[in-house]
Structure 1
Amino acid sequence: MSRLSLVQFRDADGARGVAALGDDRAARRVEGVASVLTLAERALEAGLDLAGAVARQGLGGPVDLSEVALLPPVDHPDPAHLWLTGTGLTHLGSAEGRDKMHRDAAAAGAPTDSMRMFLMGVEGGKPAPGAVGAQPEWFYKGDGSQLVAPGAPLAAPAFASDAGEEPEIAGIYLIDRDGAPVRLGFALANEFSDHVVERGNYLWLAHSKLREAAIGPELLVGDLPADVRGASRILRGGATLWEKPFLSGEANMSHSLANLEHHHFKYALFRRPGDVHVHFFGTATLSFSDGVRTEPGDVFEIEAEPFALPLRNPVAVAESAPVTVRAL
Structure 2
Amino acid sequence: MLLSQYSRAGGTPQIVVREGTEAYEVKTDLCLYALALDCIETGQPLRERIAALGVRDAVDIEALYAAGRLLPPVTHPDPAHLHITGTGLTHLGSAATRAEMHKAAQEHETDSMRMFRLGLEGGKPANGAAGVQPEWFYKGNGFALASPGAPLEAPEFAEDGGEEPEIAGIYLIAPDGTPVRLGWALANEFSDHVMERRNYLYLAHSKLRPAAIGPELLIGELPQSVEGWSRIRRGNETIFEQPFLSGEANMNHSLANLEHHHFKYKLFRQPGDVHVHMFGTATLSFAAGITPRDGDVFEIEAEPFGLPLRNPLSFAPLARPEPRIEIRAL
TM-score, length basis structure 2: 0.95
- Once the 2 structures are TM-superposed, how far is the Cα of residue 322 of structure 1 from its aligned partner? 5.3
Cα distance in 1 between the residues matched to 2:250 and 2:188: 18
The equivalent of 1:323 in structure 2 is: 325
Residue pair 1:99, 1:112 contacting (<8 A) in 2 also = yes
2:263 to 253, 262, 265: 265
Asked if 1:21 corresponds to 2:18, the answer is: yes
The equivalent of 2:237 in structure 1 is: 239
- Once the 2 structures are TM-superposed, how far is the Cα of residue 103 of structure 1 from its aligned partner? 1.7
Runs of 4+, deviation exceeding 3 Å:
11-15, 319-322
The equivalent of 2:295 in structure 1 is: 297
Asked if 1:307 corresponds to 2:309, the answer is: no
Deviations along 1:211-256, one digit per CA (max 9) or x if unpaired, are 0000000110011000100100100112100110011000111111
The equivalent of 1:6 in structure 2 is: 3
The equivalent of 1:93 in structure 2 is: 93
Identity of aligned residues (%): 63
Q: What letter matches 1:11 in structure 2?
A: R
Cα distance in 2 between the residues matched to 1:40 and 1:79: 17
Deviations along 1:185-228, one digit per CA (max 9) or x if unpaired, are 00000000000111111111000000000000011001100010
Cα distance in 1 between the residues matched to 2:29 and 2:268: 26
Deviations along 1:92-118, one digit per CA (max 9) or x if unpaired, are 0001110012221333xx210000000
Q: What letter matches 1:50 in structure 2?
A: L
Query: Over aligned residues, Cα RMSD in angstroms?
Result: 1.3
Aligned ranges 1:267-282 → 2 under 5 Å = 267-282=265-280
Q: What letter matches 1:244 in structure 2?
A: Q
The equivalent of 2:81 in structure 1 is: 81
The equivalent of 2:53 in structure 1 is: 57
The equivalent of 1:105 in structure 2 is: 105
Residue pair 1:30, 1:60 contacting (<8 A) in 2 also = yes
Cα distance in 2 between the residues matched to 1:301 and 1:133: 33
Count, aligned residues:
322
The equivalent of 1:136 in structure 2 is: 134
Q: What letter matches 1:184 in structure 2?
A: L
Structure 2: gaps of 5 or more residues: none
Aligned ranges 1:138-153 → 2 under 5 Å = 138-153=136-151
Aligned ranges 1:117-128 → 2 under 5 Å = 117-128=115-126
Q: What letter matches 2:17 in structure 1?
A: A
Deviations along 1:33-60, one digit per CA (max 9) or x if unpaired, are 3311112012112211110110222211
Structure 1: gaps of 5 or more residues: none
Residue pair 1:33, 1:39 contacting (<8 A) in 2 also = no
DSSP-derived class of the 1:306 partner: helix
1:47 to 29, 43, 46: 43
- Once the 2 structures are TM-superposed, how far is the Cα of residue 271 of structure 1 from its aligned partner? 0.2
- Once the 2 structures are TM-superposed, how far is the Cα of residue 12 of structure 1 from its aligned partner? 4.5
Cα distance in 1 between the residues matched to 2:119 and 2:143: 31
The equivalent of 1:36 in structure 2 is: 32
Residue pair 1:175, 1:276 contacting (<8 A) in 2 also = yes
Q: What letter matches 2:180 in structure 1?
A: V
Q: What letter matches 1:242 in structure 2?
A: F
Residue pair 1:86, 1:281 contacting (<8 A) in 2 also = yes
> Could you tell which deviates more after superposition, 41-50 or 182-191?
41-50
Cα distance in 2 between the residues matched to 1:318 and 1:38: 35
DSSP-derived class of the 1:186 partner: strand
- Once the 2 structures are TM-superposed, how far is the Cα of residue 297 of structure 1 from its aligned partner? 0.5
Asked if 1:163 corresponds to 2:161, the answer is: yes
> Could you tell which deviates more after superposition, 157-166 or 37-46?
37-46
1:39 to 1:129, Cα distance in 2 relative to 1, 3 A = farther
